[in-house]
């Protein structure tokens, strides 16, 4: 029997590329999955896609608003009766020269990626203490090392990597594990959006520039979201009870030389 059978899993950014994949993997293992996202159309589409696989439900939530998070968590607990695993997937991308960045770009990125991740952790912890549950955050290779033109995103994901350590230490005596994954470039709508917005009209050129950083050289290719989902399930598994306060890189070795 699966270790996730009848466990209740909450996935933020659950209408996005990784969120859908992560939700599906937990459903395959018999979990009850609650997806949440700011974008209701994405949630509806994700639910329709996931429904044949098992118990999935959704709640709309903007993770930049603490009151919204509190309502969403209360709703999930009301419907499900418990919470075992929280996966913080909601995120946004920004890039560009630091001297041209706007206050809005800073606020949006930090608010979704860092504030949102922190407060979803914060407001779900009381439920996770009851179940000795766990949290898996989605950081990034950009949360491990710096990249030119990535200052704000680096700050947001570096923050995610560090709050994962701090929360892991803080919650260890309470039986709650907190870990993160740090993927490099994953083939999702976010990556497509990056190329469209920042590629200067040359989408293939944008992709080429990303891939040429990889140690695999000519053999480099984008990471599939299914691989991220596999690693999230690994970290959420009670079989790896000793793993906490850590960040697992899923980046083809990209950050190994940092
Ligand atoms: N795709 C990549 O290359 C890559 C690499 C490393 C890390 N990441 C991180 O992985 C996570 C998932 O990214 P993805 O590739 O699936 O992107 P995605 O754009 O497909 O999904 C992100 C989801 O977050 C939701 N979201 C955005 N703002 C929100 C808010 N305020 N409240 C609630 N939901 C909100 C979006 O609606 C979207 O459905 C993100 O945190 C991202 O930063 C992505």
CA distances 49 to 55, 159, 237, Å, are 12, 33, 25
Stretches where the chain sits below pLDDT 70 are 1, 258
Tokens of 45: 């589409």
Helical segments of 81-202, H only: 103-109, 117-131, 151-171, 189-198
d(CA 198, CA 176): 39
Cα(190) to centroid(ligand 1), Å: 6
Mutational pocket test of ligand 1: of 10, 11, 18, 62, the residue with most ligand atoms within 8 Å of the beta carbon: 18
The confidence score (pLDDT) of residue 1 equals: 66
Burial label, 75 (beta-carbon count in 10 A; 0-12, 13-18, 19+): middle
Strand 8-12 and strand 85-88: the pairing is parallel
Query: Going by CA atoms, what residue is nearest to atom 11 of ligand 1?
Result: 89
Mutational pocket test of ligand 1: of 25, 91, 104, 183, the residue with most ligand atoms within 8 Å of the beta carbon: 91
């Amino acid at each position: 029997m699966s270790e996730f059978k009848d466990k209740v899993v909450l996935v933020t950014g659950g209408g996005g590329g990784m969120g859908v994949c992560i939700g599906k993997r937990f459903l395959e293992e018999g979990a009850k999955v609650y997806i949440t996202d700011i974008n209701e159309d994405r949630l509806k589409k994700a639910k329709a896609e996931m429904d044949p696989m098992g118990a999935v439900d959704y709640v709309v939530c903007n993770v930049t608003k603490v009151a919204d998070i509190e309502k969403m968590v209360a709703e999930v607990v009301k419907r499900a009766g418990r919470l075992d695993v929280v996966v913080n997937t909601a995120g946004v991308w920004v890039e560009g020269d630091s001297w041209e960045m706007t206050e809005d770009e800073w606020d949006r990125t930090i608010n979704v990626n860092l504030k949102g991740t922190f407060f979803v952790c914060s407001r779900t912890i009381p439920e996770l203490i009851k179940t000795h549950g766990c949290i898996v955050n989605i950081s990034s290779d950009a949360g491990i090392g710096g990249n030119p033109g990535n200052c704000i995103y680096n700050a947001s994901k570096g923050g995610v990597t560090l709050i994962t350590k701090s929360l892991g230490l803080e919650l260890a005596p309470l039986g709650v594990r907190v870990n993160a994954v740090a993927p490099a470039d994953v083939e999702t709508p976010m990556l497509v959006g990056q190329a469209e917005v920042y590629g200067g009209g040359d989408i293939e050129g944008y992709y080429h520039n990303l891939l040429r950083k990889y140690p695999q050289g000519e053999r480099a290719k984008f990471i599939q979201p299914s691989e991220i989902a596999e690693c999230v399930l690994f970290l959420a598994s009670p079989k790896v009870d000793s793993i906490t306060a850590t960040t697992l890189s899923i980046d083809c070795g990209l950050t190994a030389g940092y």
